[in-house]
Amino acid sequence: MPEIYIYAVEGRTMDQKRALVKDVTDAVVRHFQVTPGDVMVQIMETPKTSKAKGGILFSDRPGEPGSPMTPKGGT
């Protein structure tokens, strides 16, 4: 109240999450005149096998392990 949902692919560290929810909360407090205790933040992590841009799953992008676009022996 406000409630903030951040959708991102998996893989961030605890320190990255900790810093992000802190700064996002501060921004909401600063601009929307609420107290920190009113602000709820959730990071919604999605596997790369379930998120796509341009119609291509993140797990299928060139360079991803197991991607059909990654050459054998490649990165």
Give the active site residues.
Answer: 2
Interacting residues of 1 by C-beta distance below 8 A, sequence separation 6+: 34, 38, 39, 40
42 binds a second copy (CB under 8 A): yes
61 binds a second copy (CB under 8 A): no
Q: Which is nearer to a second copy, 54 or 71 (CB)?
A: 54
Binding positions for a second copy, 13-32, rule CB under 8 A: 14, 16-28, 30-32
- Residue 68: exposed, middle, or buried by beta-carbon count in 10 A (0-12, 13-18, 19+)? exposed
12 binds a second copy (CB under 8 A): yes
Interacting residues of 37 by C-beta distance below 8 A, sequence separation 6+: none
At 41, list the tokens: 């933040």
Minimal distance, residue 64 CB to a second copy, in Å = 12
74 binds a second copy (CB under 8 A): no
